[in-house]
């Protein structure tokens, strides 16, 4: 009945299946593969990339898309067609020569960055980065031409479709009004609290053997509903959520000196993993079944790590588990655990930042990368812009310290512009979901009572109904409206932070 649509469906089913093998190879490379197998794996994955790119850039697709548009599709099929077109456009907007040049320049810059960062070598980095930026600007312009979006918006659209610089300015502008002041008030509050209690909270004291951490982390994942019949937890240098919805492969890493970092990393990845595992089974294989966006994905990991994981009630759930695995100690008492998991301390490094200061790191990067892409800043101005923002947002001096300043992230070195906002948009969405749950489902302290009992079912039911099962059925804006009755609203994030850190 819809022959063009059906033909497109079949192409994307093939892509999904090839993508399964590619996702597995990617996970294996990070979690399992021995060092010397790198070249053979890279060749195999490049061959597959080429095959999949060839399928996505088949000249026949353009005509099929036009014909499918004119077919009598139902609303669900039309949503799938919209997502097919997004995927098609992403592969067809950029000429092969640009893709290759970006890949080479990014690989060169990223590879050199690994040694330039420890050497604090900004000048060396700049030499490679100018080309990465030039190609990033060209990419933005080409994507802009293909989508009709502004250049920076067109980059963001790859990760966060529908999001614009105007909208980010609106929510980050709001955030900037109150966040620096809130950080100061919370720090004063925590100092007074320490003084009242005779000092900062006891920290868990190791060593914590890796084997016991493995068991503990799996226990906590099971408690959080991760399905080990359709996924695994392994270890890698950088924790991630990979694999496919039917076989979700999470990784974490264990330090014998520090227990909570690995555990909260696992809780974070479990949020990503449950989103993947609960994407609608019947739709899998088609783009409409994809996770909605990276900010929505981060809203799941942060729902688990921040909304649930760093709550006072969850600390009470964790405490006896820690004692059972490693023996009782002061650092495992619920109150000490909660105080330590919510300690606010402005620092130079984004990935080590606490919940409250993390958005400042993101706002800073957003400002700079948008100016870079729009041409209102050049690469050599980055350090000065960085210093200025760190001073105004967190009151920290980073002058001359490139290593812990503008050289700290991998994102720019490999040309991934437009991703950073997703982290904080995700934190805001997470707060918005939980505000909705508290408002409509579990008013007053009912949610806290459930969490304290380790009964997360109402939360998971809400997330499943409103987020997981909806996949890419709606635009992000409509998803938010349907789930919470309103568009993205940073007020929920503010209320969450004030309640947790000043309450």
- When asked if residue 324 is in the footprint of its own copies (CB under 8 A), the reply is no
Residue 55 exposed, middle or buried by CB count within 10 Å (0-12, 13-18, 19+) = middle
118-122: list long-range contacts, CB under 8 Å, 24+ apart: 118/403, 119/403, 120/401, 120/402, 120/403, 120/407, 121/402, 122/383, 122/402, 122/406, 122/407
- When asked if residue 215 is in the footprint of its own copies (CB under 8 A), the reply is no
The residue range among 41-49, 58-66, 98-106, 424-432 that interacts with its own copies, by the rule CB under 8 A, is 41-49
- Catalytically annotated residue among 131, 167, 269, 355: 269
- Can 269 be counted among the known catalytic residues? yes
The residue range among 24-32, 64-72, 125-133, 408-416 that interacts with its own copies, by the rule CB under 8 A, is 24-32
Q: Among all chains, which residue has been given the structure tokens 């930026």?
A: 133
- When asked if residue 237 is in the footprint of its own copies (CB under 8 A), the reply is no
Among 34, 72, 148, 444, binds its own copies (CB under 8 A): 34
Among 174, 247, 414, 448, binds its own copies (CB under 8 A): 247
- x-or-dash pattern for its own copies, window 264-293, by CB under 8 A? --------------------x---------
- When asked if residue 33 is in the footprint of its own copies (CB under 8 A), the reply is yes
CB of 367 to its own copies, least distance (A): 41
Indicate left, alpha or beta for 444 from its phi (over 0: left) and psi (-120 to 50: alpha). left
Among 219, 227, 380, 455, binds its own copies (CB under 8 A): 227
- When asked if residue 32 is in the footprint of its own copies (CB under 8 A), the reply is yes
CB of 28 to its own copies, least distance (A): 6
User: Could you give the count of Cα atoms lying within 13 Å of 479 in the half-sphere of its Cβ?
Assistant: 28
- x-or-dash pattern for its own copies, window 51-80, by CB under 8 A? x-----------------------------
CB of 318 to its own copies, least distance (A): 25
DSSP alpha helix (H) spans, 294-350: 294-302, 312-326, 334-341
303 vs 284: CA distance, rounded Å: 24
Residue 232 has φ and ψ, to the nearest 5°, of -145, 165
Q: How many Cβ atoms sit within 10 Å of the Cβ of residue 330? A: 12
Which whole-number Å values give the CA distances from 283 to 1, 76, 278, 470, in the listed order?
Answer: 19, 10, 11, 10
Q: Among residues 245 and 405, whose Cβ is nearest to its own copies?
A: 245
Q: Among residues 96 and 211, whose Cβ is nearest to its own copies?
A: 211
Asked if residues 225 and 456 have their Cβ atoms less than 8 Å apart, the reply is: yes
- When asked if residue 174 is in the footprint of its own copies (CB under 8 A), the reply is no
- When asked if residue 43 is in the footprint of its own copies (CB under 8 A), the reply is yes
- When asked if residue 256 is in the footprint of its own copies (CB under 8 A), the reply is no
CB of 31 to its own copies, least distance (A): 9
Q: Please tell me what DSSP assigns to residue 280.
A: -
For the chain, the maximum distance between any two Cα atoms, rounded to a whole number of angstroms, is: 75
The residue range among 63-71, 105-113, 223-231, 260-268 that interacts with its own copies, by the rule CB under 8 A, is 223-231
CB of 265 to its own copies, least distance (A): 21
Going edge to edge, which strands form the sheet with 247-252? 231-235, 247-252, 241-244
State the DSSP H helix or E strand holding residue 212, giving kind and residue range, or none if neither. Answer: helix 210-223
Distance from the Cα of residue 372 to its chain's centroid = 22
CB of 111 to its own copies, least distance (A): 20
Number of residues that bind its own copies (CB under 8 A): 36
Catalytic residues: 269
Binding site for its own copies (CB under 8 A): 14, 17-18, 20-22, 24-25, 28, 32-37, 39-41, 43-48, 51, 227-232, 244-247, 284
């Amino acid at each position: 009945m819809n022959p063009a649509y059906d033909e497109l469906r079949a192409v994307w089913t093939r892509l999904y299946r090839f993508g399964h093998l590619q996702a597995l190879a990617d996970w294996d490379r990070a979690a399992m593969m021995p060092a010397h197998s790198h070249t053979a794996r890279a060749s195999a994955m490049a061959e597959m990339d080429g095959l999949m790119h060839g399928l996505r850039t088949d000249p026949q697709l353009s005509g099929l898309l036009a014909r499918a548009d004119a077919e009598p599709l139902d609303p669900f099929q039309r949503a799938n067609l919209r997502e097919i077109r997004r995927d098609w456009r992403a592969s067809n907007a950029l000429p092969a020569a640009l893709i290759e040049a970006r890949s080479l320049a990014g690989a060169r810059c990223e590879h050199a960055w690994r040694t330039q960062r420890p050497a604090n070598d900004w000048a060396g980095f700049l030499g490679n980065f100018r080309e990465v930026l030039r190609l990033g600007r060209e990419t933005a312009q080409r994507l802009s031409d293909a989508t009709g979006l502004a250049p920076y918006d067109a980059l963001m659209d790859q990760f966060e479709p529908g999001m614009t610089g105007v909208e980010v300015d609106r929510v980050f502008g709001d955030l900037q009004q109150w966040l620096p002041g809130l950080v100061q008030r919370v720090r004063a509050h925590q100092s007074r609290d320490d003084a009242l209690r005779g000092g900062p909270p006891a920290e868990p004291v190791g060593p914590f053997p890796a084997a016991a951490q493995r068991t503990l982390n799996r226990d906590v994942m099971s408690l959080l509903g991760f399905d080990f019949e359709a996924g695994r937890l392994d270890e890698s240098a950088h924790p991630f959520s990979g694999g496919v919805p039917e076989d979700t492969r999470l990784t974490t890493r264990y330090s014998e000196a520090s227990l909570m970092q690995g555990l909260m990393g696992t809780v974070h990845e479990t949020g990503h993993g449950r989103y993947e595992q609960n994407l609608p089974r019947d739709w899998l294989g088609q783009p409409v079944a994809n996770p909605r966006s990276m900010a929505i994905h981060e809203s799941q990991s942060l729902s688990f790590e921040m909304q649930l994981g760093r709550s006072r009630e969850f600390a009470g759930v964790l405490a006896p588990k820690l004692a059972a695995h490693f023996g009782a100690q002061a650092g495992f008492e619920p109150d000490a655990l909660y105080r330590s998991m919510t300690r606010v301390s402005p620092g130079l490094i984004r990935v080590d930042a606490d919940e409250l200061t993390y958005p400042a790191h993101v706002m800073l990067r957003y400002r700079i990368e948008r100016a870079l892409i729009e041409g209102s800043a050049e690469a050599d101005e980055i350090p000065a812009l960085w210093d200025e923002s760190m001073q105004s947002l967190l009151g920290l001096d980073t002058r001359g310290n490139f290593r812990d300043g503008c050289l700290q992230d991998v994102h720019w070195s490999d040309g991934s512009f437009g991703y950073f906002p997703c982290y904080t948009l995700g934190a805001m969405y997470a707060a918005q979901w939980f505000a909705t749950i508290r408002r409509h489902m579990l008013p007053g302290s009912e949610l806290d009572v459930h969490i304290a009992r380790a009964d997360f079912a109402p939360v998971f039911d809400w997330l499943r109904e409103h987020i997981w099962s909806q996949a890419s059925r709606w635009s992000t804006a409509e998803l938010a409206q349907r789930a919470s009755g309103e568009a993205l609203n940073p007020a929920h994030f503010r209320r969450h932070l004030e309640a947790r850190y000043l309450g």
